[in-house]
Amino acid sequence: MLLLNGTQMHRRFISTINNGRYDMMKKENRLALLFIVPSFFGVAMFFIIPFVMSLGYAATDARGNFVGLSNFAGLFGNESFRLATVNTVKFMVVAIPLNIIIPLFIACLLFHMIGNVWLKMIFMSPLVIPSACVAFFFQSLFMSNGLLSRILGENIDWLQTEYSFVIVVGVYIWKNMGFNLVLALAGLANIPKDYYEWAAVEGMGKWRMFYKITIVYLIPALFIMFVMSFINSFKIFREIYMLAGSYPNEKIYMLQHYMNNQFSRLNYQNLTTSAFVMTFVITAFMITFFIIDKRVEFGE
Amino acid sequence: MFQKKIKKIPTKVFLTVIAFIYIIPLVIIFTNSFMSHGEITRNYGEEYDLFDYERRGQIHYAEYNLIPENITLEQYNILLFKTPAYLDLFLNSLKLTLPIVLLQVVIGSLAAFGFTVWKSRFKEILYCIYIIVMVLPYQATLVSNYIMADGLGILNTHLSIILPWGFSPFAVFIMRQSMKSVPYSVHEAAQIDGAGHFRRFLHIALPLSKTGIAALIVLSFTDAWGMVEHPMVFLKDSSMEPLSVTLYRIGQGNKGLIFAASVFYILPVIWIFLYGYEHLERGVNLSSLK
């Protein structure tokens, strides 16, 4: 038999108590799961389970025969799908960086202004206004007898030309800049002022300060600005649809138009296949993005 | 001091010009809602009046008049009293938006609390699924929602929009961000005092995340109020549509009503926006919390 000394006794005593507490905590922990259950039930029911089910549609033809990947092959061979994909990617590549740079610039100007609440509110307001309410106004700017035609002296429905892309990017920035502006302003407020004072003592120039201090400390804010611009870039469909209808100029025919037109034909195979491709690409993109985000975070 | 002020003038002018561009659509919609039907058709029409002999046949460019020639409530009168269909559509918007906001607040805050106190290695994996569903565009998730709504037999009812939207992971995200700003030691202290999960939820987590709830209400209300994609897919019956979809069609046909209808539809959002702006701003900033 082993004789226990004081420390060992103490340890054993603590561990019995901890075991009891551990059981209690385990029970508590299971109770905590109950809070997630209603939400998870809904997310599983309306997003996850039907998504898995939709894979079944994507792998079969209209009569239910298994066809493997031929739906996917058909999708990538589909000209309007390819056009929509190219347009959507093009839109994102142009609009998202602009939607980060412009608010950042305005935030730098606004930051030192006292009483900027009203300006902030004005810049935020398009975010909450239903797109249908301003659609007619925008149409009136770009229609064949609209303001732009008058300025340029040409009677063209600008939304039906290749310039529609520029218009849509402009509307996107008009609508979504406020969100990023608020994020950028909060990010700027988090940078300690001393850093700039020290840098000034060291004789650093203004531009050097901007990219050595401001940009570096804004990186977390920039990441979330990017994610939000990304999410909202898909919502531009509302505006395009309101401005130019279901079949707009081919420069602004987006993935969402393609999906919507499949819905009106109720083509399950095409719908599920393209939804799967979209989900897959976005998930892969987001996971890489979050990994980079973590890397940057730990790198500093 | 004085020089500093002068230096700031170009910045101020620049910002004011941009703010002006931002606010002008709203101002025009508002003032034009007091125009008569005829004046709007004349201002935005493509041709000159038939009786304008000199310029008949020439192209007429849209004119933006800030102040109506004679201020009338004609549009509002037609909208509110002569065509009850518009009021029904407005009610549809309310019937869709209010349950969505309520569901999001209740389910979102419950789940966010669960994610705060639950300890498991599966937690972050589960949360990651939530984030991915949140980032997916409506067009990708609508297919899933449609399949389920079809299976449940609730297509062409408001429920088919309310349910998937009410379970939106975005609500969980915002609420979790807001609960993150409460130090966990507060929870531990309450736990040692013997408060169970439910009491801690009611007496600590909820009261301390009032801002988060307010921000969520503003964000989800304004998003749902402007819904376009869901009704287009789920509702076949145009009398069940919210006004946000129908407004578009009003603009295509009866231009004379579009401004009053827009103002009528913007008012609830503007009210919530002005009332909850501070919360909205904080809510936006919550999303950047690590």
Q: Which of A126, A137, A224 sits opposite B287 (nearest CB)?
A: A224
CB contact under 8 A, A38 and B107: yes
The sign of the torsion formed by the CA atoms of A33, A38, A39, A44 equals: positive
CB contact under 8 A, A122 and B19: yes
The answer to whether residue A16 scores a pLDDT higher than 50 is yes
- Give the DSSP letter string of A249-285: -GGG--HHHHHHHHHHHT-HHHHHHHHHHHHHHHHHH
The answer to whether residue A17 scores a pLDDT higher than 80 is no
The answer to whether residue A32 scores a pLDDT higher than 50 is yes
Q: How many CB atoms lie within 10 A of CB B184?
A: 11
* Parent domain of A34: 1-58
As a whole number, mean pLDDT of residues A195-207 equals 86
Which residues of chain A lie closer than 8 angstroms to B283, CB-CB? none
Residues A98, A207, single domain; the answer is yes
Nearest alpha-carbon partner for A154 in B61, B97, B87? B61
Rounded Cα gap, residues A32 and A25, in angstroms: 10
Residue A161, sorted as left (phi over 0), alpha (psi -120 to 50) or beta, turns out to be beta
Q: The domain that contains A189 carries what CATH number?
A: 1.10.3720.10
User: Do you know the residue count of chain B?
Assistant: 290
The answer to whether residue A148 scores a pLDDT higher than 70 is yes
CB contact under 8 A, A259 and B26: no
Residues A39, A108, single domain; the answer is no
Least CA distance to A109: which residue of chain B? B11
Residues A2, A132, single domain; the answer is no
In-domain check, residue A253: yes
Per-residue confidence band for B48, with pLDDT thresholds at 50, 70 and 90: low
Expressed in angstroms, the distance from the first to the final Cα of chain A is 55
Which residues of chain B lie closer than 8 angstroms to A234, CB-CB? 137-139
Number of H helices, E strands in chain A: 14, 0
Nearest alpha-carbon partner for B182 in B289, B23, B34, B61? B289
Residues A124, A2, single domain; the answer is no
Least CA distance to B169: which residue of chain A? A43
Residues A24, A132, single domain; the answer is no
Give the pair of three-digit tokens for residue B208: 């301390």
The answer to whether residue A153 scores a pLDDT higher than 60 is yes
As a whole number, mean pLDDT of residues A183-203 equals 88
Give the pair of three-digit tokens for residue A117: 């609440």
CB neighbour class for B253 (10 Å; exposed up to 12, middle 13-18, buried from 19)? exposed
Locus of tokens 């491709």: A277
Residues whose CB is less than 8 angstroms from the CB of residue A222 and which lie 6 or more positions away in sequence, other chains included: A100, A104, A187, A215
Is the distance from CB of A187 to CB of B288 less than 8 angstroms?
yes
Domain limit, last residue, from A20, A36, A58: A58
Phi, psi of B112 (to 5 degrees): -65, -40
Give the pair of three-digit tokens for residue A115: 């009483």
Residue A162's pLDDT is 86
Per-residue confidence band for B8, with pLDDT thresholds at 50, 70 and 90: confident
Is the distance from CB of A67 to CB of A59 less than 8 angstroms?
yes
Which residues of chain B lie closer than 8 angstroms to A272, CB-CB? 143, 147
Choose, out of A24, A26, A36, the residue to mutate when testing the contact with B (most B CBs < 10 Å).
A36
The amino acid at B147? I
Residues A208, A112, single domain; the answer is yes
The answer to whether residue B52 scores a pLDDT higher than 70 is no
In-domain check, residue A83: yes
User: Do you know the residue count of chain A?
Assistant: 300
Distances, alpha carbon B52 to alpha carbons A139, B60, B69, in Å:
25, 11, 18
Give the pair of three-digit tokens for residue B9: 């003038």
Instruction: Provide the domain count of chain A.
Output: 2
Which residues of chain B lie closer than 8 angstroms to A134, CB-CB? 25-26, 29, 262
Phi, psi of A245 (to 5 degrees): 80, -170
Q: Which of A28, A137, A263 sits opposite B233 (nearest CB)?
A: A263
Q: Which of B43-52, B67-76, B166-175, B271-280 is predicted with the least confidence, judged by mean pLDDT?
A: B43-52
Residue B47's DSSP bridge partners are B59
Residues A187, A119, single domain; the answer is yes
Residues A80, A54, single domain; the answer is no
Residue A300's pLDDT is 44
Least CA distance to B161: which residue of chain A? A46
As a whole number, mean pLDDT of residues A280-289 equals 89
Residue A98's pLDDT is 97
In-domain check, residue A216: yes
Residues whose CB is less than 8 angstroms from the CB of residue A82 and which lie 6 or more positions away in sequence, other chains included: A76
Nearest alpha-carbon partner for A119 in A131, A106, A132? A106
Give the pair of three-digit tokens for residue B212: 């988060």
Q: How many CB atoms lie within 10 A of CB A40?
A: 21
Residue A209's pLDDT is 85
Expressed in angstroms, the distance from the first to the final Cα of chain B is 40
Residue A155, sorted as left (phi over 0), alpha (psi -120 to 50) or beta, turns out to be beta
Which tens digits make up the pLDDT trace of B119-173? Answer: 888 888 899 899 899 989 888 899 899 989 999 999 999 999 999 999 999 999 9
Residues A165, A35, single domain; the answer is no
Residues whose CB is less than 8 angstroms from the CB of residue B90 and which lie 6 or more positions away in sequence, other chains included: B243, B264, B265
In-domain check, residue A218: yes
DSSP state of A213: I
Q: Which domains does chain B have, with CATH numbers?
A: 2-72 (no CATH), 78-286 (1.10.3720.10)
Residues A109, A184, single domain; the answer is yes
Residues A133, A258, single domain; the answer is yes
Rounded Cα gap, residues B182 and B160, in angstroms: 36
CB contact under 8 A, B129 and A48: yes
Count of A-B CB contacts under 8 Å: 276
Residues whose CB is less than 8 angstroms from the CB of residue A110 and which lie 6 or more positions away in sequence, other chains included: A116, A119, A120, A181, A185, B15
Rounded Cα gap, residues A6 and B245, in angstroms: 77
DSSP state of B163: H
The answer to whether residue A168 scores a pLDDT higher than 90 is yes
Per-residue confidence band for B44, with pLDDT thresholds at 50, 70 and 90: confident
Residues A86, A193, single domain; the answer is yes
Locus of tokens 């719908």: A271
As a whole number, mean pLDDT of residues A243-249 equals 82
In-domain check, residue A63: no
In-domain check, residue A219: yes
Give the pair of three-digit tokens for residue A53: 């089910």
Rounded Cα gap, residues A128 and A139, in angstroms: 19
Per-residue confidence band for A118, with pLDDT thresholds at 50, 70 and 90: confident
Residue A1's pLDDT is 42
In-domain check, residue A65: no
Provide the mean pLDDT of chain B.
Answer: 86
The answer to whether residue A294 scores a pLDDT higher than 90 is no
Nearest alpha-carbon partner for A224 in A213, A236, A232? A232
Residue A228's pLDDT is 87
CB contact under 8 A, B143 and A271: yes
Which tens digits make up the pLDDT trace of A57-105? Answer: 888 887 778 887 888 888 888 899 999 999 999 999 999 999 999 999 9
In-domain check, residue A64: no
Per-residue confidence band for A270, with pLDDT thresholds at 50, 70 and 90: confident
Rounded Cα gap, residues A62 and A66, in angstroms: 10
